[in-house]
Structure formats: structure tokens, C-alpha cells
Structure 1
Amino acid sequence: MCSDTIIEYEQGCRFLETGVSKLTRILEEETSEKPFTREQYLEYYTTIYNMCIQENPHNYSQRLYHKYHDIVEHYANETVLPCIQQKDAVYLLRELSRKWDHYKVFVKWLSHFFTYLERSFISYRNYPSLLEVAMKSFRDLVYLEINKEREGGEIERELLKNIVDIFVQSGMGTMEMYEKDFEMFLLEDTASYYSRKASSWIQEDSCPEYMIKSEESLKKEKERVTHYLHSTTEPKLVEIVQEKLLVSVAKQLLEKEHLCALLRDDKMDDLSRMYRLFNPIPNGLELVAKAFRLHVTSEGNALIKQAQDSATTGSVEGQVLVGKIIDLHDKYMVYVTDCFKNHTLFHKALKEAFEIFCNKKVGGSSSAELLATFCDNLFKKSGKSDEAIEAEIDNVVKLLDYISDKDLFAEFYRKKLARRLLFDRKVNDEHERSMLTKLKGQHGGQFTSKMEGMLTDMALAKENQKGFEGYVNGKPGGIDLAVTILNTGFWPSYKTSTDLNLPREMVECVDAFNSYYGSKTTKRKLSWTYSLGTCHVIGRFDHKPIELVLFTYQAVVLCLFNNTERLTYQEIIEQLNLSHEDLVRVLHSLSCSKYKILNKEPASKSISTTDVFELNTMFTDKMRRIKVPLPPVDDRKKVVEDVDKDRSYAIDACIVRIMKSRKVLLHQQLVSECVEQLRRMFKPDVKMIKKRIEELISREYLERDTKNPNTFKYVA
């Protein structure tokens, strides 16, 4: 067509239709049809160009824009749609894929014909582009039909990938149509599908089987995305599967006996799978950790109850209980590290669980005392190898973290350490120092300073003993005495017995050591604690002589019978100047216990101030050497009193330290900061803190604000 003549709309459209028909035949692979030549292409382009630049009323730009829409719609409706409507399942998808490729070529060539319209008319009018018009036509007329055919058929992955690409590209640069027409349906169907599966599986399958199916489902959904879905779908798809298979049934999985059974039966693989499944879910592990904490707490409480029931029958198996708690901790720490990958939630859950039952009393004994007793038995008579003892020391240090009254443990441990050092000849210095080193590393130098001082005293005592032996060597009297010098600041407080009337032999020994020590130093004064001493005495009985290993108090009582056959209680107490409590214990050990070295009148299991005693010359034993124990003294009350006193000092120091740095502080803030600073050693009682505040006010360390009584000021 020539450019100098007016091209009527109908005339131009008839010519354009020949090009559209030719393009359609080419795409339908009609072999007789030849491709467009350059001249033919220019002719169609020129026709559209001329129709757009003609003067009104012959400028057909607007009508051509609509004509373009009609052409692509007609092609989609008459050429693409009938072909795919005749296909089923996978054949439909193959045909759709082929027609999509044709459609893109058709739109591309047609857009070449209408290039001038795009450039000169559409851009100025801000109309949708030719490509947008073409994609909308395909979407509206073809894809709406595809939705009807999507249910139920198996689809080749590569083919489906091509089809998904149609949804992406039909969005004309956005994901709107993919999300609206494909993804939304897919997600809804997925949610419905897995909701049904969850209801069925939770009823039919065990917890491990359910989790295996859930993990496999998540794996397959991710594979689907990899093979033929758009990558943006994966997080949405995974979230739906997690919601339907895990979140919605989490309580059923965890609150029933499922998790407890896995923990009880050592199902490591299943517990690891549970962690993998719930870890990616926001807050998903919180329910698992809570269930874990409740189970561990229940197990620990059961151990405590068992021990408490045993205590009501007359004995507390403290060592057994602590050993079981250590085993329980080892078991669940393996779960935390291996199955739950050291996640902080599970470390916290384990800590909270152990803090609950590790601070309960058993048979009147606190957990701090039980743990100290466990250590005492471990070091005295465990019979274990060095490696095993080191492992137990590590376990004790771990358990101590869960005990709130760490200062109470330290005091009980110190008293028992003192007895081991003073009375146990087989004490292992390396084990004792290893324990203190680990306690010091965990709780600081102040925690172990006194106990370290005790070990130092014992080392120095050996040197002093060598010096004393050299001092008395060759002197008359044959003194056989071993003395341990203790610094009162390190050791527990003991009752001194300076007024005790000792036998002449013992007095000579004491005088000899006093003389030796006075020759070494004049700056220190010795105070003798005879209650901690032991003596070896030869008892010459009618059947055979027996070596008696006695405490000093026992020895001085028996020595009275060297010069007389019978003594009343009153005579004994007057001659020795012992306290009533101490003498009752001594006489009970010598006349009412297993070894009846003294006969008592009247015979009974208790000591009275009217009793009369005489040496049992007929006493004998199969052993040639026996150790006569004293009845145990329950010093628990004394330990608690000492600790309470130390806590008062600690609270005072803490309050002053806080106020010195803050100068002015509200009452509640002061109490809170004090609790926070002291909780590493003990759980301070709020009432005690308030009492100490009042005491510090009376001592003029603090004062109340005159305008606000709840505010305190530091008095410099």
C-alpha cells in the first residue's frame, strides 16, 4: 500500500488479516507456508504506521489498539483453546506448553507490526502495553480453562516447569498472576490435604512414625519446588506443612506420653528428628523444651519422693540419692548435647528442672548437706579409681550449680573436710585439692579460701611435727605425741578444753610441745582443743591386752580407773571438769555401745547422773586393736546458725556496696539489686534484707529521705 493515499480502516484491517493468517499457518507448521520476507514485514509495518499518522478522521490509532486486542484474543480463543480442550491430563500439559511457545512467537511478530503504535500512541496515553494486552488475553481465555483440568493427574516435571513458567510470565513482570491463579490454589489444596493427613496420622501412628511421615512430607514439598515450582513458593509451602503437620498437633505430640516415652526409651534418632522438625518453626522449640523440662522435673521429683519415703522408715540413702541424680543429669545432658544440638532453650530447661528438685529437703537434710556428705563418702571410702573420682568431682561441681544455698554446702563441706584431714589417715591430698580447684574455678577464690587454708595448715603441720620430734629426741619420758596446729580463721569453730584435767602422762606431752612451740615463736598463742584429739591406750583385760584407739575424752575417763575400781558419774565429772553433754557422750560410748569397756549400774541404754561405773575386766574382742567411736553429734543446727550469721554480714556488705555507688535508691530497687548480687551464693530472704537495711540505718550507714520514706540515701 502507498503512503500518499488514505488507507481506510476496513481496507487496512483486511490487509493486516492476511499477515495474521500467514503467521498462524507458519506457527501451525503448515509446510507450504514460507516465512515472512523483509519486504513483507516492512509492508505490514508501513500499513500500521500510515494508519496511525493520517489526519483525523482517518487516524486509526485508537481503533488499531483495540484491533490488536481482538487479534490476540481471537488467536487464543480460536487456535490455542480448542487444541487444549481436546486433551486430557499430561497430554493437555504438553499441548499447552507447545501452544504457549507458539503464542509467544505470535505476539512477538504481531508486536513488530504494531511497533509504531506502541511507540507513538500507547506510551502517550499511558495505556497497557501490547505485551500486557496479549498476556491478559491468554490468561483470561486459556488459563481459566486450565484450572478445571488440574485435579488428579500425574505431571511430568519438566513439562510442569514450563507450564509454571507460563503463570510467571503471564504476570507481565510481576508474580501477581502466579500467586493468584496458581500458587494460591496450590497452597489452599496443600493445607487441606495435610490437615486431613494430620488428623489421620495422629490417630493411627505412633509419635516416631508420625514424625517420620512429617519429615518425609517436608522433604517432598521442597523437592517439588526445586523441580518445577517457583522458588518464592518454598517458604509458603513449608510453612503450611509445618502448621498443619506440626504446630496444630504439637500439644498432642508432646503433652501425651509421646515425648516421655522417647526420653524414657532412649530414642535418640526420634528425639533428633523432633528437634529438626520443630527448630525451623518460629517458637517451635519452646513447646518441646517445656515438655522436656516437665519430664525431667517429674523424673527428679520421683527420685526425691523415693528417698523421702525411705527416710520415713529410719534411714536416708543420701549417697545413693545424689548418685541417682548425677546419673539422671548425665542421661539428659546427652540428650541436650546430641539430640537438641546444645540449644540454649534445652540447657535452660534442664537447669530449671534440676533447680526445682535439687533444692528439696530429704529426711530433714538439705540438698547442700546431702551433696557435701556425698563428697565426704566419695573421698573416704569410695574404692574408685582416680579417673572415676575425678569424674565424680566434675559431677558434684555441676550439681552445685543447681543448688541455691551454695554457702551452706561450703560450710558443710568445710566441716567434713576438717574431719577427714584430722581423723582420716588415708586422705588423698590430690583429690582434695582437685575438688577445691574446680570449686574455685566455678565460684571464685572466696568460696574456697578457708578450705585451701586448711590444706596448707596440714602441710605445715608435718613440718612442725618433724621439728618437735627432733626437739624431744633423747629427752627422758618417751613422749609419743603428734600435734596439728590449726589457724582458727580457716577451720570450723571448736570448743576448747583448757580446763580439762588431764592425766600426768598427757600433761607432760602438752608441756613439752608448749616448750617447743615457745622456742620457735612468741607471737602466737596455742589453744588446745582436746575434743579433736585421739589416743592409743593399752587395755589390760583378764583375757588379753587390747589396743584401744580412743578420743582424748574417752582416754582421760578410762585413765581414772587405773587407781580405782568404781566411780560415780558425779565423781567422774568433778575429777575431769568435763561438761555434762560431753561426759554423757563419752560414758555412753564406753558402756552402752558395741564395746562395753565399762560396766554401768543400773544397766540401761541411757546415762544418768546417778549411775555408777566400773572397769569391765572381762571385756574381750576377737581383734587385738579396736577403735571405739563416739556417738555422732548433730551439728546441723550449728552449721545453719553460722551460715545465717555469715549471710547477715554478706547482706550488710552488699547493701553498703550498692548504696556507696548509687548514693540514692528506692527501697524496691535496693532489694532487687541485693538479691541479684547475692543469688550466686544463696537465695537471700527479702525479710532478712529489710531487717539488715533497718540495722544499717540504726548504725547510720543509711538514712531515709525525709520527703519519701521509700528512698534511701548513703551516709558518707
Structure 2
Amino acid sequence: MCTQKGPDDHTEELYKRYKKVFENYICKTVLPSLEDKHEEFMLIDLIKRWENHKLMVRWLSRFFHYLDRYFIAKKCFPTLKATGYNCFRDLVYENIKVKAKDAILVLIDKEREGGQIDRALLKNAVDIFVALGEGGSSSIMDLYEKDFEAPMLDDTSSYYSIKASKWIQEDSCPSYMVKAEECLKREKKRVSHYLHSTTEVKLLDKVQHELLTVYTSQLLEKEHTGCHVLLRDDKVEDLSRMYRLFLRVPNGLDPVSSTFKKHVTSEGTLLVKQAEDAVSSKKEEKKDVVGQHEHAFVKKLLDLHDKYLDYVNNCFIDHTLFHKSLKEAFEVFCNKDIAGTSSAEILATFCDDLLKKGGSEKSSSEAIEEMFDKVIKLLAYVNDKDLFAEFCRKKLARRLLFDKSASEDHERAILTKLKQQCGAQFTSKMEGMVTDLTLAKEHQTKFENYFSTNPKAHPRVDLSVTVLTTGFWPSYKSSDLSLPEEMAKCVESFKAYYGSNTKSRKLTWIYSLGSCHLTGKFGPKPIELIVTTYQAALLLLFNNTDSLSYSEIKAQLNLTDDDVARLLHSLSCAKYKILNKEPNNKTISSKDVFEFNSKFTDKMRRIRVPLPPIDEKKKVIEDVDKDRRYAIDASLVRIMKGRKVLGHQQLVMECVEQLGSMFKPDFKVIKKRIEDLISRDYLERDAENPNVYKYLA
């Protein structure tokens, strides 16, 4: 039939009859059967007819395989399989697609409401929409997407819109989120059971939009169960669920992180207020009580940071948005002063308490190391890191010089951590101080050995000298104290030793940092007195006389009125009255007369006579301000040297950016430093535009 020539070639007629057979069968058998059935029964019959049709197409296309190989290939007609499928699509599918779609949606909604359905039936029905797209003129998925998926997504939106509007009124925020998460899980499973895989993203987007996006603000701000309440009540599981849900929503985490930031800020600000109130109420009492409140404040701050950092790491899975919110929140209250004391000083005092002997923290080495790590994290939020460094340096100096450091290992450990966090420049001076103390011990050993070879040089007084490098240590007030003969011999003996070991090095004696052990021969019993070098020099004056006037003491010691008054007050008006004063009152005047109190006694055989401390806070702040001016000058010159010409605003912003890691420069100060650099011919203003600067080489 197909290989003959001329009028006997029936190939094309055979191809047409092949198509006619399908059309006749569909019109006479398939369509009448489907028209009588509805909903689930219609789907069952449709699937049965479709399976029969596929079987019929497969066998007939095999019988007439010759047509596919030669005739159809030559004429560019649709293949036998495509022709068979097209017949079903044009005659059955086009008539039945709306009914089939509606029947499927009814079953899906039934399952959403908790009913039992035949999932295999649904899968086979949905597969018809996909299969009939093959061989079409457009994409394979067009029929599925246009005739089934789009209406199904609209139906899903309507279904969850109704549900969400009801749940948002009736349920708490946690209950609503549980339902929303469960719905999303079920819809995802639904895709795997009977929908096409390409539908998953679109379907979940629709559900998320109706359940979460539409009601984001209402859900997060629910009066008694919203995000703020979950944070307040430590509802970790609910917060984790909130993160998982809103992570799916475009920009959905923004309001959550904003609420998180506000909550942490309010918690921290409350701690600051409580600390201020506690310090204010104790202002009239002892200073160490005030210090205890500040110490407790830092511990609460560390606990607060641990708590919310744990939230960020676990509930919010280390998301950068929440790290940023935590940082911004802590920067707000970590830079507030407490009763006039800056956060930098409070943090430095806390570290000092950890590191000194007899501090309030009685912890193991591991616990102290862990505390250091927490303090370093907190330091990252403090703007005035240079002020913290200067206070740390002052306190480190006192610990090292007065042997109050609990452990050299701990000192080096915190310096290492600070170096990693803030850079080598931050800790270089403090590292030099620790090294100085190690070298000083070696010097002391050599000094003692020096006397074994030079016995005549020994001053007959035990002497310990600590040699410090000027650049590393804080600046201290030096005075031309006139030393008594016994002490002067000690100084000369060390000068002789030091001169024999070093060349071209000048020693500057800082007597204010020294201490002495004296034996006071009082009537009742001798008592060992631990005093400062200044106090010792004053007391030794009474070895030669019983009574001295204020003016005589001042002349013999060669000190200022402030220093003399402070010394005499500590020895005659404080707890230990080693000197008697005439007149007997609590104030020191230039007309007072002092005599040795031979009747003084105490239950202890050794006592430390304290000297009223000088508040160094003002000097530290002045030193830091001075260093900041130098840092701003250096930054401005460095920027202009590289850029040559730059506008005022851009220069200021680049300077702030460069110095931001150590402190936050004041714009007014930067402007003053620019004017100063102009006056010193480092910069000049542009002749045409005064807001533009030029660098002068």
C-alpha cells in the first residue's frame, strides 16, 4: 500500500484514516462516557480513558511504524504518537479541562481541611495536564501552568487568605506561627505527592504571602504575644520558628531584627539607669561601695551580651542582620556615662579588679580567661578605646609597681587578646611595661651582687630600685625632694652601680611611686610603718628633733604647699596619728607645729599608713585629648599627602573613618586641627573655593 507508485500509493490516505479512527472512537465512546460523570468519578473515568488512549496510540504507532520512518519524516507531518495525543487534547481535554481542574481543586481543599483523598488518583489526573503539553506548539508545561497551576494557585491564595484573617484574630503569635509552619510543610509534601515539582516555589510563595507577608506587622506587634514579648519571656523555640518563617519572606527579617534591636537597647538602657541610681544612692558612702556597683553593672552587661549573642547564634542562626542589630544596640548604652564615669573607665576598672591581688573575683584561671574574652567582645562596642587603653595603662602601672598583680600570665593573656582585637599599637606600651618589670628584677639581682664586690658602697639599708623606660609608662610628677641623709646614700649607691653598667642613660627619680619600711620606736612598743617615700622623708626629720613647724618641714623637704599639707594630714589627722599637731584640728595650716607622738600604739605590729590618693581621672582625660589632637593631625596630613587636593567634607569623613577604630573624633576638633595645619603651612585653602584644601609638600 505504501511502496507503490502513482495512483496505487495510499500512504497519505492511510495517515488520514489513522487520525480518523481516533476521532471516531473519542466522539462515539469516550466523550459520552465522560459527560455523564462528575467530580471524583469523572476523574476516575478520565484517567481510565487516557490510559486506554495511550495504549491504543502505542500499538497503532507500532503497526504503522513505516509511516513515521519515511512518509511523516519526508512530509514534516506530526508523528503518529503526537497525532494520537493531539486528537485526545483537541476533542477530550478542551471539553473536559475546566471540570477536571475543578474536581482536582475540590479534592485538594478537602485534604487541606483534614479529609482523606486518593492521592494516586490526583497524581494521575495532574499528569494528564503535563503529558498533553508534549507535541504542542509552545512549551511542554504551558497546558499545566495555564489550565491547572494558575487556577490552583489562585484557589490556594483564597483559601489561606480566609484562614489567615480568622487565625490573626483568634490566635496568639506563637499559635499562629505553629499553624503557618505546619501549612507550609503540608503544602511542600503536597507537591511531592501529586503536583509537578516546578509548582513548589510558586505554591509556597502564595502561602507565605497570605499567611506571613500580609500580616507581618500585626503578627509581630500582637499586644501580649508579639515579638517583643517573646524576647522578654525568653521564648527561644518561638523565636527560632519566627526566624525560620520570616527568612522565607522578602525583607521579612527586617522588622524582626528591628524589634530585636529595640528590645536589647531598652534592656541595656535599663541596666545603665539602675547602675546610675545605685551609684547615686551610695555617693555619700565609701568609694569602694560605688566601685562594687560599677563592677556589678559590668557583670550584668556581660550576662546580657551572652544571652542575646546566644539568641543570635542559635535562634537566628548567625544571620548578619541580627549581628548588626546586636552591635548597634550595645553601642547605644555601652557609651553612656554612669554618674560621670565613662564606660571606658568602668571597663578598665573591671579588668583591674580581675587582675589584681585581692580582687572581688575569686575564680579559676579558666574562668578569668573566659571573662577576658567577654570583656574584649564588649570593648568592641565602646567608642573611646584609646581612653580605655590609657586607664588600663595607669592601672597596670599601679599593679606592677606596687606588686598587686595576681598573675603575670593573666597580664600577658589579656594583652594578647587586646592586641588581637585592637592591633599591636594598642598594647605596645603595656607590653613594654610588663617587659620592664622582668628586666627590673634582673637589675635588682645585679645590684645586690654589686655590693658583694663593693662592700664599702653598701648604704646599710635594704634598697630595691625599679628602672622604667620613659616611653612605655604613664607620665608621673617628679619633684626635687630633699632626701634625708640615710635615703640620699641609697640613691647615690644605685647611681654608682647603674653608671658602671650603662652609658648615656639618665635616671629621673620618681619618689611619689616609692615606699619605705620604717621602725617607729614608740613608748608602748616598736611598730613597723609601711609608708611612701615622701612620708618616710618627713618622718625621718623627727630623728633629730621632737618638734617642727610647718614652714620648717616645707623648707627641709623642698616640696610644694599642696604636697606638704597632704603628707602632714595623712600622719597627723587620719587614722594613724603618728604626729601630734598643734592646734589639734582636722585642717593643716602654715602656722601649725608638729611633734613626734611617742605614745602612739596599735594592736598590730606592722601597719600601712595610707596617703590620700590623687584623682588621676582628669589628667588621664587631658592626656588622651592631647594624643587625639596628634592622631587627628597625623591622619589629616596622611590623607592630604595621598590626595593632594580634597574638599572639606570629604577630608573630615575620611579622617573620621580612619580614626573610628580607636575613638570617635569630634567634627569641631577636626576643623580646629585643619586650621592649625593651615597656620603651620601643611595645608592651604584653594584661592577660588575656600572649602577645598591643597597639600603643601
TM over 0.5: yes
Question: Could you say which residue in structure 2 is the equivalent of 1:326?
Answer: 302
Question: Could you say which residue in structure 1 is the equivalent of 2:492?
Answer: 511
Residue 179 (1) aligns with residue 136 (2)? no
Q: 1:343 aligns with which of 297, 301, 319?
A: 319
Deviation of 1:132 (Å):
4.1
Q: Which segment is superposed worse, 337-346 or 645-654?
A: 337-346
Q: 2:126 aligns with which of 150, 164, 182?
A: 164
The answer on whether the counterparts of 1:81 and 1:141 sit within 8 Å (CA) in structure 2 is: no
Q: In structure 2, the residue corresponding to 1:547 is in which secondary structure?
A: strand
User: For residues 393 and 119 of structure 1, do their structure 2 counterparts lie closer, same or farther at Cα, with a shift above 3 Å needed?
Assistant: closer
Question: Could you say which residue in structure 1 is the equivalent of 2:474?
Answer: 492
Residue 406 (1) aligns with residue 355 (2)? no
| Cα deviation digits, residues 415-452 of structure 1 (max 9, x gap) | 11111111125542111111112211222221111111
Q: 2:211 aligns with which of 220, 245, 252?
A: 245
Deviation of 1:307 (Å):
0.8
The answer on whether the counterparts of 1:549 and 1:626 sit within 8 Å (CA) in structure 2 is: yes
Q: In structure 2, the residue corresponding to 1:513 is in which secondary structure?
A: helix
Q: Which amino acid is the alignment partner of residue 656 of structure 1? A: V
Deviation of 1:529 (Å):
0.9
Q: In structure 1, the residue corresponding to 2:538 is in which secondary structure?
A: helix
Q: 1:458 aligns with which of 434, 437, 440?
A: 437
Deviation of 1:502 (Å):
1.8
Deviation of 1:197 (Å):
3.0
User: For residues 333 and 179 of structure 1, do their structure 2 counterparts lie closer, same or farther at Cα, with a shift above 3 Å needed?
Assistant: same
Separation in 2 of the partners of 1:254 and 1:590? Answer: 67
Q: Which amino acid is the alignment partner of residue 78 of structure 1? A: P
The answer on whether the counterparts of 1:76 and 1:137 sit within 8 Å (CA) in structure 2 is: no
Q: Which amino acid is the alignment partner of residue 632 of structure 1? A: P
The answer on whether the counterparts of 2:355 and 2:405 sit within 8 Å (CA) in structure 1 is: no
Q: Which segment is superposed worse, 173-182 or 307-316?
A: 173-182
Q: Which has the larger radius of gyration?
A: 1
Q: 2:44 aligns with which of 67, 90, 94?
A: 94
The answer on whether the counterparts of 1:122 and 1:129 sit within 8 Å (CA) in structure 2 is: no
Separation in 2 of the partners of 1:272 and 1:50? Answer: 68
Residue 49 (1) aligns with residue 25 (2)? no
| Cα deviation digits, residues 689-714 of structure 1 (max 9, x gap) | 22222222222222222233222222
Q: 1:304 aligns with which of 272, 295, 298?
A: 272
Question: Could you say which residue in structure 1 is the equivalent of 2:353?
Answer: 377
Separation in 2 of the partners of 1:197 and 1:604? Answer: 85
Question: Could you say which residue in structure 1 is the equivalent of 2:422?
Answer: 443
Separation in 2 of the partners of 1:675 and 1:504? Answer: 56
Separation in 1 of the partners of 2:663 and 2:558? Answer: 41
Residue 231 (1) aligns with residue 181 (2)? no
Separation in 2 of the partners of 1:234 and 1:556? Answer: 89
Q: RMSD of the TM alignment (CA)?
A: 3.3
Gaps of 5+ in 1: 8-42, 53-60
List structure 1 segments (4+ residues) > 6 angstroms apart after TM superposition: 64-71, 106-113, 115-122
Q: In structure 2, the residue corresponding to 1:151 is in which secondary structure?
A: helix
Q: In structure 1, the residue corresponding to 2:106 is in which secondary structure?
A: coil
| Cα deviation digits, residues 247-301 of structure 1 (max 9, x gap) | 3333344345533444444443333333322223332333322222222222211
Separation in 1 of the partners of 2:445 and 2:102? Answer: 104
Separation in 1 of the partners of 2:83 and 2:46? Answer: 24
Question: Could you say which residue in structure 2 is the equivalent of 1:19?
Answer: none
User: For residues 623 and 129 of structure 1, do their structure 2 counterparts lie closer, same or farther at Cα, with a shift above 3 Å needed?
Assistant: same
Q: Which amino acid is the alignment partner of residue 158 of structure 1? A: A
The answer on whether the counterparts of 1:118 and 1:130 sit within 8 Å (CA) in structure 2 is: no
Q: In structure 1, the residue corresponding to 2:306 is in which secondary structure?
A: helix
Task: State TM-score, norm by structure 2.
Answer: 0.86
Question: Could you say which residue in structure 2 is the equivalent of 1:523?
Answer: 504
Q: In structure 1, the residue corresponding to 2:429 is in which secondary structure?
A: helix
Question: Could you say which residue in structure 2 is the equivalent of 1:583?
Answer: 564
Residue 431 (1) aligns with residue 399 (2)? no
State the identity as a percent.
57
Residue 387 (1) aligns with residue 366 (2)? yes
User: For residues 590 and 138 of structure 1, do their structure 2 counterparts lie closer, same or farther at Cα, with a shift above 3 Å needed?
Assistant: farther
Q: 2:329 aligns with which of 353, 371, 389?
A: 353
Q: Which amino acid is the alignment partner of residue 225 of structure 1? A: V
Separation in 2 of the partners of 1:104 and 1:652? Answer: 86
User: For residues 582 and 197 of structure 1, do their structure 2 counterparts lie closer, same or farther at Cα, with a shift above 3 Å needed?
Assistant: farther
The answer on whether the counterparts of 1:421 and 1:458 sit within 8 Å (CA) in structure 2 is: yes
Residue 80 (1) aligns with residue 31 (2)? no
Q: In structure 1, the residue corresponding to 2:447 is in which secondary structure?
A: helix
Deviation of 1:66 (Å):
11
Question: Could you say which residue in structure 2 is the equivalent of 1:281?
Answer: 249
Deviation of 1:590 (Å):
2.4
Question: Could you say which residue in structure 1 is the equivalent of 2:113?
Answer: none
Separation in 2 of the partners of 1:424 and 1:541? Answer: 29
| Cα deviation digits, residues 463-509 of structure 1 (max 9, x gap) | 21122222334336412111111111111111112x21222211111
Question: Could you say which residue in structure 2 is the equivalent of 1:218?
Answer: 184
Q: Which amino acid is the alignment partner of residue 661 of structure 1? A: G
The aligned length equals 660
Question: After the TM superposition, which residues 65-76 of structure 1 pair with which residues of structure 2 at under 5 Å, given as runs?
Answer: 72=26
Separation in 1 of the partners of 2:270 and 2:255? Answer: 23
Q: Which segment is superposed worse, 71-80 or 132-141?
A: 71-80
Deviation of 1:131 (Å):
4.4
Separation in 1 of the partners of 2:638 and 2:320? Answer: 33
Separation in 2 of the partners of 1:613 and 1:395? Answer: 53
Q: In structure 2, the residue corresponding to 1:298 is in which secondary structure?
A: helix
Deviation of 1:604 (Å):
4.6
Q: 2:522 aligns with which of 534, 537, 541?
A: 541
Question: Could you say which residue in structure 1 is the equivalent of 2:92?
Answer: 138
Separation in 2 of the partners of 1:47 and 1:472? Answer: 128
Residue 151 (1) aligns with residue 117 (2)? no
Deviation of 1:151 (Å):
2.5
Q: In structure 2, the residue corresponding to 1:655 is in which secondary structure?
A: helix
User: For residues 79 and 435 of structure 1, do their structure 2 counterparts lie closer, same or farther at Cα, with a shift above 3 Å needed?
Assistant: same
Q: In structure 1, the residue corresponding to 2:262 is in which secondary structure?
A: helix
The answer on whether the counterparts of 1:73 and 1:134 sit within 8 Å (CA) in structure 2 is: no
Deviation of 1:67 (Å):
11
| Cα deviation digits, residues 600-626 of structure 1 (max 9, x gap) | 445554444444444444433222212
